[in-house]
Amino acid sequence: MTTGTLYMLPVTLGTDNIHQALPQEVIQLAQGLETFIVENEKSARRFLGLVKPAKPVRELTLLTLNEHTTDAELPALLAPLLAGQDVGLMSEAGCPGIADPGARLAAMAHRKNIRVAPLVGPSSILLSLMGSGLNGQRFAFLGYLPSDKQARIQRIKDIERQSRQQQETQIFIETPYRNQHLLEDMLTHCAAETRLCIARNISLPTELIVSKSIKDWKKSELPELHKQPTVFLLLA
């Protein structure tokens, strides 16, 4: 039997506007799918309501893959694909397989010779890099920084050193209620000429993407970042 395709289906970044976020053919493809593997069922149903699938949303099959999913549970998620069905994999926001648990299933799909097909959509990491004006020829995404203040300061210094040595843009995030602390630590501990891009609420009406040197950030009014999804990009 021919196996199905695992479509890596991006979702909107907090907006309701799927026509700003997804190509028409991606929306059409999603409309035809009947089985989805989702990070959060509630937000996935809301997103699928916007997509307007061929079948009513309540009749779609939604399986969950999140940080609590064990390796032992992964084979059950691949069962529909092995039975020949196409499946859409969605993360909570943005592109599945990037900074989410989706890559674990894609890895297992490759081992079973199931086709994995990425679809175009919004990624706050990529969009913020495009908008930053920092080096896009060489960059690294590091995920979350340590929550402990001393460990975070040390990590910031390491990141700055790596960026200077390699001329590499370093991209990282923080849980939104700690954004302001991270920003303060960078302003205190980074070199005056280091460039910092703050990319807040990407693709929302309140989107802000501003790149300045640490020296110039210190002279500016700082943007409100508390509890707002923000990507930080640094180039020393």
CB of 58 to its own copies, least distance (A): 27
Q: Can residue 21 be called a binding residue for its own copies (CB under 8 A)?
A: yes
Written as six digits, the tokens of 33 are 């799918």
Closest among 65, 67, 66 to 81, alpha carbons compared: 65
CB of 5 to its own copies, least distance (A): 11
Q: Which one of the spans 56-64, 147-155, 174-182, 199-207 is the region binding its own copies (CB under 8 A)? A: 199-207
Distances (CA, A) of 88 to 50, 116, 211: 15, 10, 36
Beta bridge partners of 169: 139
Alpha-carbon distance of 159 to 180, in angstroms, equals: 18
Q: Can residue 4 be called a binding residue for its own copies (CB under 8 A)?
A: no
Alpha-carbon distance of 222 to 209, in angstroms, equals: 12
Nearer to its own copies, 62 or 210 (CB): 210
Q: Can residue 158 be called a binding residue for its own copies (CB under 8 A)?
A: no
Q: Which one of the spans 37-45, 72-80, 91-99, 226-234 is the region binding its own copies (CB under 8 A)? A: 91-99
CB of 99 to its own copies, least distance (A): 6
Angle ∠(128,7,172) on CA atoms, nearest 5: 25
**Cα-only R_g, the chain:** 20
Q: Which of 142, 153, 187, 204 binds its own copies (CB under 8 A)?
A: 142
What 3-state DSSP class applies to 203?
Answer: coil
CB of 108 to its own copies, least distance (A): 7
| Contacting residues toward its own copies, per CB under 8 A | 8, 17-26, 95-100, 102-110, 116-118, 120-123, 125-143, 168, 197, 202-203, 207, 209-212
